[in-house]
Amino acid sequence: MRPLSNIFSKEVRELLTPATVLPIVVLAILFGSLGGIMGDVGGEASKPPIIGIIQQDDSELANYTAMILDSESDVVYKSTDIANIDEGLKAVSSAGGTALLVIPQGFGDDIQSNRSGTIRVYWIMKGTGMLDTISSASLDGLLGVTDKMLSMYILENEDMRASVNVTTALNPTIKNETTTFKGQTLEGISPSSISATLSSQNMVVPLIVLMVIIMSGSTVIASMGLEKENKTLETLLTMPVKRSHIVIGKLGGAAVVGLLMAFIYMLGMSSYLNSLQGSAGLNLSDYGIGLETLDFVLVGLSLFLAVVAGLGLCLVIGVFARDYKSAQSLTMPITFLAMIPMFVLMMKDFATLPGAVQAGLFAIPFTHPMMAMNNLMFGDYTLVVAGIVYEAIFASAMMAVAVILFKKDILVTGRKKKREGKEVRTWPRRR
């Protein structure tokens, strides 16, 4: 059994390295965090929605509607004066609430005149992530239940049943929705519709970032591994060319190839995305939400800097690749680094995340182009510009580090490991 155990232990030693273990640990932490977020969402969904009610109408049906809403939700603001909408929105917003509901004058009369009674819903949208709209979905459900209970109330009441026709009795209420988000008021649209439309329309940029980083990033790291494995690096380093030019040449080549690959990939994805936009059925520009020329320039700049920053990071990591095999395992952390903001931002808006998570995401350069479009659509330039500045600093720092490493012995001699006081090199040392 000794030869078998010998081979077994050699294989385990080769495969169980920090480069292979770390990505799995990061992935486990990521899933653990996502699990925590999902758990919080489950808890939030089961809580009664926080709302405010302005009840102008004092009819029997209006009182019954208000009673249902009151009993099934956490009402933080009540009024009978329609002039208090702004005050009500402020109160609900500061309580972390979802919406201000208005039961207007004539609500009951409309139903009894065979016209559906209107409930005006002033949504307070917190973020564009899927999980940010959980509370509005919860209230949406409650409004549906209210409609059904009101329907039963009408059908069980003989006087009303006689005066209200069946169509109105079965659908006694309709919603008139207005959404407030980042200082903008959007009439006739709900947070769920906005979130669904944004996530489908703005999926392009995160996908481009992810594809370019995966494709070009692995190319850059692998090229370093191949240069070492094929013993071409030493020759390249003795050519009459500045180290900075080697770095820029490698990054530029990888970026062009990556962008080309991403473009080809996106050609296929575009029909899929168009179908998603079609099914969402909303054109946000009709509501005054859209991008102007400057916005597209900022998104493009953010995307470009993220790619340069990412490739710079890959080149720095690539310096530590011993050969092609080890280079492949080093691409995994970069891939995860691009996937983390994509998944987190899909679930939650940056603004609604805890401070520590925000800081972590901000530090990842790939985050910024992924959220740039959403922020620019709602006129939030501060975060986008701050992101671009950070990306520029990060990209410059990575390129500077890469140039410095290209001037150091480590590129030729490999990493040093101290073991029991002796110096051991992990890349072939020759004298």
> In 10 A of CB 209, how many CB atoms?
25
- Region binding another protein by CB under 8 A among candidate stretches 8-16, 232-240, 320-328, 374-382: 232-240
Quick one: 240 or 268, whose CB is closer to another protein?
240
Instruction: Verify binding: residue 231, another protein, rule CB under 8 A.
Output: yes
Q: Which of 1, 4, 239, 267 binds another protein (CB under 8 A)?
A: 239
CA gyration radius for the chain? 29
Neighbours of 294 (CB within 10 A): 10
CB closer to another protein, 215 vs 226 = 226
The residue among 184 and 244 lying less far from another protein, judged by its C-beta, is: 244
Hey, which residues between 358 and 417 contact another protein (CB under 8 A)?
408-409, 412-413, 416
The rounded distance, in Å, linking the Cα atoms of 244 and 307 is 18
Question: Residues touching another protein: how many (CB under 8 A)?
Answer: 21
Considering the complex, state which of residue 200 and residue 223 has its C-beta at the smaller distance from another protein. 223
Instruction: Point out which span in 9-17, 233-241, 299-307, 377-385 binds another protein (CB under 8 A).
Output: 233-241
Q: How far is the CB of 237 from another protein (least distance, A)?
A: 6
Please, what is the minimum distance in Å from the beta carbon of residue 228 to another protein?
10
Strand duo 50-55 + 416-419: pairing: unpaired
Q: Is the dihedral of CA 394, 400, 403, 409 positive or negative?
A: negative
Please tell me the distance from the alpha carbon of residue 262 to that of residue 212, in angstroms, as a whole number.
6
User: In this complex, which beta carbon is closest to another protein, that of residue 161 or of residue 425?
Assistant: 425
Residues 244-263 touching another protein, rule: CB under 8 A, are none
For residue 121, give the nearest of 93, 140, 94 by alpha carbon: 140
What is the residue type of 297? V
CB of 224 to another protein, least distance (A): 14
351's CB contacts (< 8 A; 6+ apart) are 126, 127
Is 325 one of the binding residues for another protein (CB under 8 A)? no
Q: Which two tokens stand for residue 20?
A: 């292979």
Strand, coil or helix: 144: helix
Only one of the segments 9-17, 198-206, 208-216, 237-245 lies at the binding site for another protein (rule: CB under 8 A); that segment is: 237-245
Binding another protein (rule: CB under 8 A), the pick from 80, 235, 274, 275 is 235
Q: Which is nearer to another protein, 72 or 229 (CB)?
A: 229
Element (H, E) at 124: strand 117-124
Q: Shortest approach of another protein to residue 321 CB, angstroms?
A: 16
Name the nearest CA neighbour of 274 among 191, 204, 337. 204
Q: Which is nearer to another protein, 237 or 269 (CB)?
A: 237
Q: How far is the CB of 279 from another protein (least distance, A)?
A: 45
Shortest spacing between CB 217 and another protein, in angstroms: 20
- Cβ distance 257 to 215 under 8 Å? yes
**How near is the Cβ of 243 to another protein at its closest, in Å?**
9
One DSSP character per residue, 240-284 reads: SS-HHHHHHHHHHHHHHHHHHHHHHHHHHHHHHHHHHHHHHT--G
356 touches another protein (CB under 8 A)? no
Within positions 111 to 140, which residues make up the interface with another protein, using CB under 8 A?
Answer: none
> Quick check: 240 binds another protein (CB under 8 A)?
yes
Instruction: Answer yes or no whether residue 419 interacts with another protein by CB under 8 A.
Output: no
- Report residue 73 as tokens: 């939700």
From residue 122, give the alpha-carbon distance in Å to each of 10, 118, 231, 378. 65, 13, 67, 18
Q: Which is nearer to another protein, 304 or 427 (CB)?
A: 427
Element (H, E) at 185: strand 184-187
DSSP state of 105: T
Binding residues for another protein, rule: CB under 8 A, are: 230-232, 234-235, 237-242, 408-409, 412-413, 416, 423, 425, 429-431
